[in-house]
Chains A and B, each alone.
Chain A
Amino acid sequence: MADEPLILGIETSCDETGVGVVRGHTLLADALASSVDQHARFGGVVPEVASRAHLEAIVPTMQRALTEAGVTLADVDAIAVTAGPGLAGALLVGVAAAKGYAIAAEKPVYGVNHLAAHVAVDTLEHGPLPEPAIALLVSGGHSSLLLVDDLARGVTPLGATIDDAAGEAFDKVARLLGLPFPGGPYIDREARAGDPAAIAFPRGLTAAKDLVAHRHDFSFSGLKTAVARWVEARQRAGEPVPVADVAASFQEAVCDVLVNKALDACRSRGVPTLVIGGGVAANSRLRAMAEQRAARHGIRVRVPRPGLCTDNGAMVAALGSHLVASGVAPSRLDLPADSAMPLTTVGV
């Protein structure tokens, strides 16, 4: 509908420079520039390298998004930008860019929470989100379980990882197996030829005692070490490492914990909707397992297509659109980038 707000979203919290354009819940453009190749030889994202890449990419990425959407900045109703959480220097480029665009085009700017945007992006594919909903957000930078009561005003954190993020575990295990960075897609591909039950890797924070204090929390550090021990023992014995079986068994252990904890959160709170987002939500086993197990409990799983699960500008625009439609006031021009922005803050 032409009278729905036209919102631009800017994302620069990690290594993707994203600019998205949405009208209401309709995606019009999603332009992306990634610096991932520049980080590969470091085995992880280097903040300064990412920040430099954002500065170079922001203007051309904006141009591509506007062209793709067939709009100009004068047509836009508001500009949304990820204000946190994320890499401080990287966030700052996006926030300063959003303010530059906002001042020059005389438009309001909305600083938004990156994690809430991962939830909001699903509305572009599946329409308005029923509230309350449980959200499972898993990527290289975050692993969180949230209760979404009111996406425009606040999200309640239920649990998070107490050590590594799920995506980090994928990267580290991939490296152990001699697979490239980022590890997620490569583990996923190898695992298809492997036996997920070949090796019994540990499921972090699922023992009865852990469920008391850490019912909704995650831990992937022990799993990562267990995989390393298993692989090294093989190598020392001079035996070949069955890469596909290790990948499949590791992936099964991660997905098993993520899905069971997410569904437990739904059941314990009587919430019938589970939204999954973040880069790890692009994992094919996680998607299939969540669908299967949720169906048994009458829970509906909503996962956007893989391209919208990873960081992008469309998710920021989607949340901005929701904030505008909900009558939330825009941010001030002194809006800071907040690398540790809490989940209780959706817009600032």
Chain B
Amino acid sequence: MRLGWVIVLVLVVDSSTPAVTAALVEVTASGVTTRAHRCTVDARAHGELLAPQVDAVLADADARPADLHAIVAGLGPGPFTGLRVGLVTAATMSQVLGIPAYGVCSLDAIGHPAAAGEPVLAASDARRREIYWAVYDGAGGRLVGPEVGAPAVAADRARELGATAAVGDGAHRYAEVLGLPLRAEPRYPDAGALATLAAERIRAGASGDPLTPLYLRRPDAVAATARKPVLP
């Protein structure tokens, strides 16, 4: 089903970085317009912050949940616990409302809007002295990634691909190691970009995605080893 000229209301959520984001956007045949936007930077309170922000953007736009036509969620990569908050919010709301939910790589919502003719490295903080990263071409198309690893490794790969700048909170944090000129914005996944990257699917009325998180790391767990004896 093509929605054509119709204006549809879309909820956007992302919790893959310390920036907890909720936005309401209008997707039309020609573009994406933000109607309401809330973003709070706090790495420790994704669970507390996101739901009130979703509630607030609906109120700001004078909309009810039943007015939504689709949900777009950042799939990460990102620290697992916070990342899941956005995805479970999108999945449950999509289930109740019977509307599709679309997943977008969260790094794309940093790298795509930052693209300006030459390749760029987008990075977010992966903790443990690592970054989640991807490299984008001059038009914002992803060339490599998403991956997780040491900033130095990402920098080497980005230079091989001709990157002339770095963007995102992870790039700011490891600016010295990366040694690339920084773009100030976007620092975190941009809600408008998330919607733009899903817009074609929204307009086409495509069926939703399973919203599988881009974890990139295995759970920390070791298989049980032989038990230590208690007798000396």
Contacts and interface: CB of A to CB of B under 8 A. Distances in A.
Interface of A: 41-44, 46, 48-49, 51-52, 55, 58-59, 62-63, 73, 88-89, 92-93, 95-97, 99-106, 175-176, 225, 228-229, 232-233, 236, 332-337
A42 B222 contact: yes
Contact of A334 (B49, B58, B95, B220): B49
Nearest to A40: B224
B80 interface: yes
Contacts of B97: 104
A48 B223 contact: no
B80 A73 contact: no
Nearest to A41: B223
Contacts of B48: 334-336
- Which of B52, B54, B96, B224 gathers most chain A CB within 10 Å? B96
Given A89-B80, A104-B97, A229 B92 contact: no
A344 B163 CA distance: 57
A236 B231 contact: yes
A49 B88 contact: no
A110 to B, nearest CB: 14
Contacts of B89: 96-97, 99-100
A346 B55 CA distance: 25
B88 A103 contact: no
B31 interface: no
A236 B231 CA distance: 10
Contact of B221 (A42, A62, A96, A104): A42
B85 A48 contact: no
B91 A51 contact: no
Decide if the interface of chain A is mainly helix, strand, loop or mixed.
helix
A99 to B, nearest CB: 4
B88 A100 contact: yes
A42 B220 CA distance: 11
A116 B221 CA distance: 31
Residue in B58, B91, B92 whose Cβ sees the most chain A Cβ within 10 Å = B92
B221 A55 contact: no
Contacts of A334: 48-49, 51-52
Contacts of A104: 65, 92-93, 95-97
14 contacts: A46-B219, A51-B80, A55-B91, A58-B88, A96-B51, A99-B51, A100-B51, A101-B92, A101-B93, A103-B58, A104-B65, A229-B230, A236-B231, A336-B47
Given A89-B80, A232-B230, A103 B65 contact: yes
A334 B85 CA distance: 13
B187 interface: no
A42 B224 contact: yes
